[in-house]
A and B are shown apart, each in its own frame.
Chain A
Amino acid sequence: MLFNSLQFLIFFPVVTFLYFMLPYRFRWFLLLISSCIFYMAFIPKYILILAITIIIDYIAGIYIEKSNGRNKKVFLIISIISTCAVLFVFKYLNFFNSNFSVIARFFHWKYPIGVLNIILPIGLSFHTFQSLSYVIEVYRGNQKAEHHFGIYALYVMFYPQLVAGPIERPYSLLHQFYEKHNFEYRKVADGLKLITWGIFKKVVIADRAAVFVQQVYGNPFDYHGLSLILATIFFAFQIYCDFSGYSDVAIGAAWVMGFKLMDNFNRPYSAVSIAEFWKKWHISLSSWFRDYVYIPLGGNRVIKARWFFNIFITFLLSGLWHGANWTFVIWGVLNGVYIIVGRITKGFREKLFDLIGLNFLPSFRKVLQVLGTFSLVTFSWIFFISKDLKDSSYVATHFYHGLKLDILSLFSNNFECILLDQNMNNLLIVVFSIIFMELVHFSEKHRSMRHMLSDKPVWFRWPVYYLMFFGIIFFGIFGESFIYFQF
C-alpha cells in the first residue's frame, strides 16, 4: 500500500480512529493487525518471511539476555546470521551468483547455478536492520529483551516505518508501545501537516522530476551536455523528495497516534561538507552504520590508515545495502572516498580559504561550500540511478559534450535540451516547486516551518494549508511507488 494512494487515504484515518477508540490494552493488537494488512497489500505471502525473522529474533533476544559468556555470543551470531541469510538470499544471491558466473567463464570453469527468479520482499533491508539493532542492543545490555511477542512483532512491523524506515532503535521505540497515548489536538495537527508536506514533496516534486530523469537515464546515450546535467540535478531532488517525503509521512502518521519516530533528514543539501551531508541524509541508516559497523571497527580511535579503512568499509557496505549492483557499490565507495579526501585535505583547504580571503566572507564561503558539496553529491547520484556501469560511465564523461551549444541554444529560445520531450509547464512546475521547497528549508534554519506556522494567525496559516492541498491535487502525480521501496 503506497502512502500516496487512495487505499492509504482510507486505511490511515480508519486505523487512527480505531486506535483512539479502543481501550489502551488492545491498541497494540490493532496496530499489529493493521501493520500486517499494510504489508500484505504488496505481496501477501511474504509476510511469512517476516514472521520467521521476527520469531527467530524474538527468541534470540530472550536467550541472549538469559545467557552468559560464550553462549550469549553464540545466540547473537545465530540471530545475525539467520537474519542476514534471509537478506542475502532475497537481495544478494543473484548478484553474487552472476559475478561468480563471470569469474567461472573467465577461467573456463563449469558453473551450474542459474539466475533465481526471486522478488525482493518490500522493506526487507529496513526491518532486517531494525531487527539486528534489537539483538545487538540486548547483547550489549542497553535493551531488555522483549518478552511480549506481540509487542516485539509490532516493533519490527510498525506500519508507518515498516517498508522504508526510519530505522528505529529498540530503546527509542519499544517502550512507546506500552505508553498510553491520548488524542492530542496539537500532535494530530502537527502530524497531518508533516504528512501533507511529505506527500507534496513526493507527488509534486519527486514524481514530476522523475519524468525528466527517466527520459534521460532510460537511454542516456541519446543525450549529452545540459540534458544530462539537468536530469542528474533533478534526480538529486527526486531522490531527496521521494525519500524524505516518505519519511515525513511515516513520522507524521506515527505522531498523529502519539509515537515519536526519529528524524531521517535534516536539510541535507545545505551541508557544507560531505561529512556533514551524511549527518543530515538518511540519518537512521547512517547512524546505524556508525554504531554497528564503523565504531565496532574502531571508528577514528585508531591509526590513520585504519581510520580511513573503517570509513571505506562502512561506505562500501552502505552502498551494497542500497542495492545488489556494482553501481551502488561504486556510489558508496565514492562517498567514502569523498570523506577520506575531505579529511586529508581539511588543513590544506583551510589554508587556501585563508589565502584567498574567503574567511573574511563567511556567507560567500558557505555558499561555495554548499554548492561544492551539492555538486559532489549529485555527481555520485549518477552511479545510484544508472542501470549499469556502462550507463554511469557514459553520463559521467559526457556532461561537457555539446554543453556550450546547449547553453547558446537556450539564449536563442530553443529549449529542447532541457525540455526532454516534455512540455514547458511540467518543467516550470518542477523548478518552481524545488525553489519553493528550498525557500522553506532556508527559513527552517532554527525552527521547522510547521512550528513557525503554528505561531501565525489563522488568516496566514490556512491559505498556506490550502495552497499545499491544492498544489497536491492539481500538480501531483499519483500511483508512483517510492524509490526506497526497492531496498
Chain B
Amino acid sequence: MELLKFIKKLLVFIIPVLLFIFILEINFFNHRNIYSLKKEILENNLSKYKVLVLGSSHVLYGVNPALFNESGFNLAQPSQSFYYDYEILLKYIKSMPSLRVVIIPVSYFSFEYDFLNSPEYWRSNFYKIYFGIPDKNEKIDFRKIQGGFLFLRETALLSLKEIIKVNSELGISDSGAYRCKDVLPKNIRKNGLKRIEAQNGIMDRTMVGENEKLLGEIIELCIAANIEPVIITTPALNVYEENLDKRIYLEMQNTIAHFCKKYNIKYYNYMSDGRFSVEDFCDADHLNFKGADKFSRVLNQEILHNER
C-alpha cells in the first residue's frame, strides 16, 4: 500500500518534469544550431565550393572563407576532432566537383586529443543527428541525450522568455565562420595558462596512433580525389606558445613533417607569426574577427595563390 502510494505520487511529480524537459529538448533539436546551420549552408552550395576548411574552434574563429578569392566554406566546429573531420569530408567529397583545396588545421593538442573522454563528448549526438556520423563509443552519458545545455544553461533559460525559442546561430556567417568579438580577457597570461591546462586535460598519449591514422586517411582521401590537402597551424599569442609542453609540440611538428614528406604536401605554421599581435585575438589561442580577416587574407595569398 505504502509502496503504491509512493509510486503514484512519484509519477504524478515526475511526469510533468519529464514532459517539460522532453518538450524543451525537442525544441532545441528542432531549432537551428551550429550543426544544422552549417549542414544546410554546405548542402545548398556543395557544387560551388573550391576550398574547404576543416578543424576545431581555432579555425572556426580564425578563418573567414568569404575573404578567399575562391568560393570556400568553413566546416570547423568547436572541439571537432580528426574523426569528425574525416567522416564529414568522406560524406561530402564526392558531391563537391569544384573542390580544389582542403585546409586541415593541426593544433598543439590534435594528435593526443581524446574527444570521447573530453567534456565536449556530448557533441557526438549532434554529429549523429545532423551528419549521420556514428558515435564511436556508445557510453552511457547523459550529455548525449540532451541538447538543452548546448548553449549554456543561462541561454536555455533565456530561451524560455521567447516561448522556448532558441537563437542558436551564434554569429555564424554564410561562409561558416564564427565572428568572435575583439574583447581580450583582463589577464591574458592567466588565460593562456588556463587554455593550455584545459587542452592538456583532453589529451591522452594513447590516442596518438589513432589520430595519426585519421589524418593520414584525410590526406589520402583528398589525394585520391585530386584535391590538394594543406596542413596549417593557426596563430596564437606568445603566452600560449611559451607555455606549451615542448615535448608534445616537438612531436606534433615531427609528425606533421613526416606526413608532408610521405604525401608531398605543404605545412604552414602560423603559431608564432609576427604579423599577428594581441589586438587580433579574443583569447590566447583564438583569433577575433579582425585577426580572422587578417589571417584569411594571408591564407588566400600564401596557400591558395602560393605567394609565400
A residues within 8 Å of B by Cβ?
A: 6, 20, 182-185, 188-189, 219, 222, 416, 421, 423, 425, 462, 465-466, 469-470, 473-475, 478-479
Chain A residues in 8 Å Cβ range of B119: 479
Q: Is the CB of A185 within 8 A of B6?
A: yes
- On whether the beta carbons of B187 and A421 are closer than 8 Å, the reply is yes
Report Cα–Cα, A478/B119, bound state, in Å: 11
- Rounded to whole angstroms, the CA-CA distance of A291 and B193 in the bound complex is 47
Residues of A within 8 A of B5 (CB): 185
Q: Is there contact, CB below 8 Å, between B6 and A183?
A: yes
Q: Is B26 positioned at the interface, with any CB of A under 8 Å from its CB? A: no
Q: Cβ of A184 and Cβ of B2 under 8 Å apart?
A: yes
Stretch at the interface among B126-134, B151-159, B204-212, B258-266: B151-159
**Measuring CB to CB, which residues of chain B are less than 8 angstroms from any residue of chain A?**
2-3, 5-6, 9, 13, 17, 21, 119, 140-142, 153-154, 156-157, 185-187, 190
Kindly list chain B residues whose C-beta atoms are within 8 Å of the C-beta of A20. Answer: 3
Contact B187 A474 (CB under 8 A): no
Q: List 26 A-B contacts (CB under 8 A).
A: A6-B140, A6-B141, A182-B2, A183-B2, A183-B6, A185-B2, A185-B5, A188-B6, A189-B6, A189-B9, A219-B190, A222-B187, A222-B190, A416-B186, A421-B185, A421-B186, A421-B187, A423-B154, A425-B154, A465-B13, A466-B17, A469-B17, A474-B153, A475-B153, A478-B142, A479-B119
* Alpha-carbon separation in the docked complex, A277 to B185 (Å): 40
- SS class of chain A's interface: helix, strand, loop or mixed? helix
- On whether A462 and B13 interact (CB within 8 A), knowing A183-B3, A416-B186, A473-B21, the answer reads yes
Q: Output the least CB separation between B101 and chain A (Å).
A: 38
Residue of B nearest to A462 (CB): B13
Closest chain-B Cβ to A466's Cβ sits at a distance in Å of 7
Instruction: Quote the shortest CB–CB distance from A477 to chain B (angstroms).
Output: 9
CB distance from A35 to the nearest CB of B (A): 21
Looking at the assembled complex, report how far the CB atom of B37 sits from the nearest CB atom of chain A, in whole angstroms. Answer: 25
The answer for the CA separation of A219 and B197 in the assembled complex, in Å, is 14
When chains A and B are docked, how far (Å) is the Cα of A43 from the Cα of B140?
19
Smallest Cβ-Cβ distance to B10: which chain A residue: A192
- Cα–Cα, bound, A219→B190 (Å): 9
Instruction: Please indicate the chain A residues that have their CB under 8 angstroms from the CB of B2 in the complex.
Output: 182-185
Residue of B nearest to A186 (CB): B2
Choice from B9, B142, B156 contacting A474 with Cβ under 8 Å: B156
Smallest CB-CB A-B distances: 5 pairs? A185-B2, A6-B142, A183-B3, A425-B154, A185-B6
Closest to B197 in A: A218
Minimum distance in angstroms from A397 CB to a CB of chain B = 22
Chain B residues, CB < 8 A from A473: 21
Not counting A182-B2, A423-B154, A425-B154, a sample of 5 additional A-B residue pairs whose C-beta atoms are within 8 angstroms of each other reads A185-B3, A185-B5, A469-B17, A473-B21, A475-B153
Contact A474:B13 (CB < 8 A) given known A185-B5, A185-B6, A219-B190: no
Residues of B within 8 A of A416 (CB): 186
For the complex, give the distance between the alpha carbons of A189 and B7 in Å.
Answer: 11
Closest residue on chain A to residue B153 by CB atoms: A474
A475 and B6 alpha carbons, distance in the complex (Å): 27
Interface centre among B2, B141, B156, B186 (most CB of A within 10 A): B2
Q: Which of chain B's residues has its CB closest to A423's CB?
A: B154
Query: Chain B nearest CB: distance from A74 CB in Å?
Result: 50
A423 to chain B, nearest CB (A): 8
Closest B residue to A425 using CB positions? B154
| Residue with the highest number of chain B CB atoms closer than 10 Å, among A6, A219, A466, A473 | A473
Contacts of B9 in A (CB 8 A): 189
Which partner residue on chain B sits nearest A6 by CB separation?
B142
